[in-house]
Amino acid sequence: MSTTVRTPPAETAAAERPVYRVTGPRVVRAEWSKLWSLRSTWITLGVSLLALVAFGWIASASYTPNGTIRGPGGDAHDAVGLALGGLNFTQLAIGVLGVLITAGECSTGMIRSTLAAVPRRLPVLWAKAGVYFLVVLVPLTAAAFAAFLIGGTALSGSKIALGLSDPGVVRCLFGAGLYLALAGVMAAALGMLLRSVAGGIGAYVLGVLLLGELVKLLPNSISDSVGPYVPGNAGGAVFALTHGSDTLSPGAGLAVFAGWAALLLAAAAYRLRRSDV
């Protein structure tokens, strides 16, 4: 007499279900999918691209031989500065989205599901920062070149007109894209560190956009020595065509600005690793 042992359906399904390992590429793929599934990503990037190109053209078209410029790029003295006249607005939009992709997930509680799937936690932060860096870098670098080329049509024949072959121009345009990408990483790190959308945006605006202006209110002996190293001023040296004695060189500015981004990422990683969500 033979006996047939029946395997319960649940055990059979468990045995047939494939087992997936948590790997770096899979975490990156997941964060890439999450980022592009957000409507705010498409809207913010679209607005940022439009603002950088449109404001650059407006600033270039507003230029007059006596150097009077109204609106964006009003403090610019060369064709590159005019083309990047919309960079302040763009970096604000990029910063807001950077905070949202981290702090937004924390505020809704969705981060718990993410960390349940990736128990080591830190790969989530690295993936979010890396994906956002690339998402900002590629299209906005292209937008910086487009803003320069389109704005150049309005400056044709003027004394400040420049071409891509002129010294420093290509470096400035690539630097603008790199600056915006690093600013986005800083915003994402602040969002993960503070875990508050409002707090993250406020800290980003204060630290990246306003701190350089606030330092100018200090005595000259302090502002001259500290000012070049605050995030906004250091990052500004990356895409500036000319540099004064009170500003950093492009390489030094990039190193300092990237250092600020790395410091904020380290602080966010420490809190993510040491505290509950």
Say if 5 falls within a structural domain: no
Q: Give pLDDT tens digits for 114-138.
A: 888 888 889 999 999 999 999 999 9
Say if 27 falls within a structural domain: yes
**Mean pLDDT for the stretch of residues 232-254:** 89
Say if 9 falls within a structural domain: no
Number of C-beta neighbours around residue 105 at 10 A: 21
How many folded domains does the chain comprise? 1
Say if 160 falls within a structural domain: yes
pLDDT at 1: 47
Residue 144 lies in domain: 23-274
Say if 3 falls within a structural domain: no
Residues in the chain: 277
- The DSSP call for residue 8 is P
Q: Give pLDDT tens digits for 13-45.
A: 545 555 567 787 888 898 999 889 888 899 999
Tell me the chain's radius of gyration from C-alpha atoms: 23
Say if 146 falls within a structural domain: yes
Say if 15 falls within a structural domain: no
Say if 16 falls within a structural domain: no
Among 191, 179, 170, smallest CA distance to 140 is for 179
Among 82, 37, 234, smallest CA distance to 173 is for 82
Q: Which of 34-38, 47-51, 168-172 has the lowest mean pLDDT?
A: 34-38
